[in-house]
Chain A
Amino acid sequence: MLGQLGGVYALLGAAVAALLAGIGSAVGVAIAGQAAAGVVTEDPAKFSKVLILQLLPGTQGIYGLLVAFVTLSKTGLLGGSMAAIDVPTGLMILAACLPIGIVGLISAVNQGKTSVASIGIVAKKPEQFGKAMLFPAMVETYAILALLVSILAVNSIPV
């Protein structure tokens, strides 16, 4: 049983990365989607611009998925033959998955709120779309940093 516990921790890490970042993206895209729908109700011509802003908080979910895939691949679970992982290694993989899970969750929700504010800019001044897109894109920086740390850490852990 103890021999399998390391694998459980590693799998838990993959789940945390996909779950938390995915939840964050779902919430962020939903908030931005409501604002986008409000603008399109009044002016359907702005659909393409507000759609891009709505999609921005969706990337964290993809990052979480990527880290989960790398983790599953690392543990051999994707190939069907899971490697023997001891408890310290399993815990290290879990810890490596935490950055994208936690930062993904928080950044996606806040990026969604920033997208809503930017959709407000597009509603009033569509010619300022480029500038409006920069504000939520800034939040993305921190999700990318977390993604890098998680991928580098998962890849560096010897299994």
Chain B
Amino acid sequence: MSDLQYTYAVARIRSKELSLFSAATIEQLLARKTYENCLQFLQEKGWGDSDTPMDAEKILTREREKTWEDIRELVPDMSVFGILDYPNVFHNLKAAIKEVCTEGNTSNIFYKDTNPSAEEILEAVKSRDFGSLPEYMAGAAAEAFETLLHTRDGQLCDVIVDRAALDAIYQAGRAAKDEVIRHYAESAVAVADIKIAVRSQKTAKSLEFMKRALAPCDSLSVDALAHAALGGPEAIRDYLAGTDYAEGAEALAVSPSAFERWCDNRIIYTIRPQKYNSFSVGPIVAYALARENEIKTVRIILSGKLNGLSDDSIRERVREMYV
């Protein structure tokens, strides 16, 4: 599909962007005194449906469904959006492996609407038929399953699957024709690597562990990052200061929540130029990511209100908005 064939879809997305929450709207939500007031505000803004109960999770789930219903209506070839689905697909793989290995029943932790579906993944793991899974996850699925079965090391199983997810995102990004997807993949993998390095440093993980967990990408040297993580938080900040992720180093110095916030903001900065692109699938991908970011931010605010956090404390965690 040529770029011009997305003209109708992009024009509709432009109109839909009007209902995205701006920083001012987020401030209005923050200003609501109680959790219930916040839910009421969301309903006034049209979140959920008329029959959606006043329940945060149900409202947010419905909003996510609405986004993907819109995108499915606008884009006939959904393969472009596969890269956004990978985190959920690989989460389902982890859940399936753990369910089969522990013989438990954890059906409520699977993401719905993935490709392959949670049921297909679970069936493939149950029957040890890993070849029926997509190529990008088959190898990791077999390795993670055998590892958990023989070592009962859930963390190692997670590391194998998470690494496969990052590799799949990176490869999909490299193969993508659209610039926004290439940039998103690079940013997503690099930010995930930085998060892994920071957490590994805090939990004193070995160099081998980090090398197994870190996914190579163009904008970071995983070898240098892993060695920096061994040297402590300052070494990580020093290394990042010389890369495209220098602002991440500054956020790391402030607080863990400021760093988490920077990680998500980085993705928003990556997609922001799509606001001025009238053709190609880029603005539609950006809209999907912006909606995910918006829903995540609202979830953070609602959790903060529910747990009685101060407005300033919640504000520190609020992400940048796309519009």
CB within 8 Å of B: which residues of A? 31, 34-39, 41-43, 113, 116-117, 119-120, 123-124
Asked whether, in the complex, the Cβ of A37 is within 8 Å of the Cβ of B279, the reply is no
Contact of B278 among A35, A36, A42, A43 (CB under 8 A): A35
Interface centre among A34, A117, A119 (most CB of B within 10 A): A34
Asked whether, in the complex, the Cβ of A42 is within 8 Å of the Cβ of B8, the reply is no
Asked whether, in the complex, the Cβ of B7 is within 8 Å of the Cβ of A35, the reply is yes
Contact of B7 among A38, A123, A124 (CB under 8 A): A38
Asked whether, in the complex, the Cβ of B14 is within 8 Å of the Cβ of A39, the reply is yes
What is the minimal beta-carbon distance from A40 to any residue of chain B, in angstroms? 9
Contact digits for B3-21, partner A, Cβ 8 Å, 1 yes 0 no: 0100111111111111000
Known A31-B7, A35-B7; contact A41-B278, beta-carbon cutoff 8 A:
no
CB within 8 Å of A: which residues of B? 4, 7-18, 278-279
Asked whether, in the complex, the Cβ of B15 is within 8 Å of the Cβ of A116, the reply is no
> Which residues of chain A have C-beta atoms less than 8 A from B8's C-beta?
34-35, 37-38
CA separation between A37 and B18, bound complex, in Å? Answer: 17
Cβ-closest chain A residue relative to B4 = A31
Asked whether, in the complex, the Cβ of A35 is within 8 Å of the Cβ of B15, the reply is no
Asked whether, in the complex, the Cβ of A116 is within 8 Å of the Cβ of B278, the reply is yes
Known A43-B15, A124-B18; contact A38-B10, beta-carbon cutoff 8 A:
yes
Query: Top 6 A-B pairs ranked by shortest CB distance?
Result: A38-B11, A42-B15, A35-B11, A38-B12, A123-B14, A34-B7
CA separation between A119 and B18, bound complex, in Å? Answer: 14
**Listed A/B pairs (28) with beta-carbon separation below 8 Å:** A31-B4, A34-B8, A35-B8, A37-B11, A38-B7, A38-B8, A38-B9, A38-B10, A38-B11, A38-B12, A38-B14, A38-B15, A39-B12, A39-B14, A42-B12, A42-B16, A113-B279, A116-B7, A116-B278, A119-B11, A120-B10, A120-B14, A123-B14, A123-B15, A124-B14, A124-B15, A124-B17, A124-B18
